[in-house]
């Protein structure tokens, strides 16, 4: 019979890969809770309209959709923020401010598979709601970087690229570009650094702007620092953007206060593709620029209103496990080793299998990782496999020792053998003592 392969760009987790995924999720959880964020989750299947309402065109085209038996149009979640907004709006008046929530959730997007991009992934979401000031943005960005530092990554490895949708909107407004055309400019700007400069200029030219406006726009969009942008905009006679520059400068100052200043790089090309972003936006990349964004997020102050709720300032990010895993592999930073069995009971005859089970049960009850061989015989192979799999102690259950109320215990690393009682208490004490 023909074997059934896994679905393309979905994932199988053999034990070694599952250990890595759990290592990532454990770090995410630890960092979140150290910073005072609370866990939450939502259904993996939501109403289709939840995502088509405000997620942005790219994500809408990547949805896994279905119609259930009640003729309802549904989708497998491609992101968590719309679900978060749905939950918040249901209890908005009752939730104490600020709201600090985190989750680590499974998602699916029908994307073109490539390095760092699969159609199934786990994503860490941090969201802080109810605080309009950029102190909240700094907190969220700092936690994202804490999550990477948890694996041993630092400013030499990754950079946080920062921009502001409000700053871009103010600059476009100062240039006289109508608001209804801003999304088209954002879409071109989002390609900065992803296509050659000549191609980017051509795309801006295709927006239909007059020559003078285009020249000023190109001058502003070519800036590589916030200070340079401020000078270029003032030199072009633009006004009305200054408050947004000051806001970003203040945000950078807060990040420096949190010890994260060395990560920050201003990048006017960061706009984020999702339609609900408003103020500061950011993405975290590896310094070698060999991978896709490790993390991305920003302000979404108007999303609650689109979900039928009351206005509420909000900021958050999402970090996927796929690109992070690529980077950890590249840097050799995985910390997970197989969880080795400490003690293994070996029955020397079939009639001692139940006795081996009872002994192992007592060891497990005492908090030890213990296992037993499920049939007697083949002692040489058993010992060889125990050594290869990292077993520390082998307990021989049976023979004359058992008849005298004892078991023979062998420490594989030293070859030393000794006799202990059959109830497991003496063995637990022995292992605790030798572990010191």
Residue 221 assigned as binding residue: no
Residue 79 assigned as binding residue: yes
Residue 64 assigned as binding residue: no
> How far is Cα 191 from Cα 197, in angstroms, rounded to an integer?
10
Which residue reads 């081996």 in tokens? 356
> How far is Cα 291 from Cα 12, in angstroms, rounded to an integer?
22
Residue 102 assigned as binding residue: no
Any residues with CB less than 8 A from the CB of 357 and at least 6 apart, and which?
345, 372
Residue 109 assigned as binding residue: yes
**How are beta strands 280-286 and 295-299 bridged, if at all?**
antiparallel
Residue 272 assigned as binding residue: yes
Cα 160–chain centre separation: 15
Residue 97 assigned as binding residue: no
Any residues with CB less than 8 A from the CB of 167 and at least 6 apart, and which?
241, 244, 245, 247, 248
Residue 127 assigned as binding residue: yes
Residue 299 assigned as binding residue: no
Any residues with CB less than 8 A from the CB of 23 and at least 6 apart, and which?
334, 335, 336
Q: Mark residue 270 as left, alpha or beta (left: phi above 0; alpha: psi -120 to 50; beta: remaining).
A: beta
Which residue reads 């009639």 in tokens? 351
| Residues making up the binding site for L-histidine | 79-81, 109, 123, 127, 272, 276-277
| Residues making up the binding site | 79-81, 109, 123, 127, 272, 276-277
């Amino acid at each position: 019979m023909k074997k059934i392969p896994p679905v393309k760009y979905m994932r199988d987790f053999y034990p070694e890969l599952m250990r890595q995924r759990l290592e990532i999720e454990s770090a995410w959880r630890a960092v979140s809770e150290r910073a005072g964020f609370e866990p939450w989750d939502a259904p993996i299947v939501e109403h289709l309209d939840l995502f088509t309402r405000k997620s942005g065109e790219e994500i809408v085209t990547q949805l896994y959709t279905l119609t259930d038996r009640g003729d309802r149009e549904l989708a497998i979640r491609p992101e968590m923020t719309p679900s978060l907004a749905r939950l918040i709006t249901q209890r908005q008046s009752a939730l104490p401010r600020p709201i600090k929530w985190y989750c680590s959730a499974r998602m699916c997007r029908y994307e073109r598979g490539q390095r760092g991009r699969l159609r199934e992934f786990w994503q860490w979401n941090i969201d802080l709601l109810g605080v309009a000031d950029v102190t909240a943005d700094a907190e969220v960005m700092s936690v994202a970087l804490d999550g990477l530092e948890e694996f041993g990554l630092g400013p030499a490895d990754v950079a946080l690229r920062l921009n502001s949708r409000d700053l871009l909107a103010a600059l476009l407004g100062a240039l006289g570009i109508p608001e209804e055309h801003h999304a088209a400019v954002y879409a071109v700007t989002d390609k900065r650094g992803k296509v050659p400069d000549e191609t980017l200029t051509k795309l801006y030219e295709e927006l239909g702007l007059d020559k003078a406006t285009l020249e000023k726009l190109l001058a502003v969009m070519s800036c590589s620092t916030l200070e340079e942008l401020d000078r270029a905009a003032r030199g072009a006679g633009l006004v009305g953007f200054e408050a947004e520059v000051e806001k970003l400068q203040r945000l950078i100052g807060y990040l420096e206060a949190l010890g994260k200043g060395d990560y920050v790089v201003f990048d006017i090309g960061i706009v984020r593709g999702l339609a609900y972003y408003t103020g500061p936006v950011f993405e975290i990349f590896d310094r070698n620029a060999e991978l896709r964004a490790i993390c991305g997020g920003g302000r979404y102050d108007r999303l609650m209103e689109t979900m039928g709720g009351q206005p509420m300032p909000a900021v958050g990010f999402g970090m996927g496990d796929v690109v992070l895993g690529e980077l950890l592999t590249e840097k050799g930073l995985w910390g997970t080793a197989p969880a080795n069995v400490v003690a293994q009971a070996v029955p020397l005859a079939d009639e001692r299998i139940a006795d081996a089970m009872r002994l192992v049960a007592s060891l497990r009850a005492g908090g030890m990782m213990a296992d037993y061989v499920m049939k007697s015989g083949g002692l040489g192979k058993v010992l060889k496999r125990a050594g290869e799999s990292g077993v520390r102690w082998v307990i021989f259950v049976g023979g004359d020792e058992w008849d005298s109320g004892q078991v023979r215990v062998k420490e594989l690393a030293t070859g030393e053998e000794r006799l202990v009682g059959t109830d497991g208490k003496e063995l637990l004490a022995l292992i605790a003592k030798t572990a010191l």
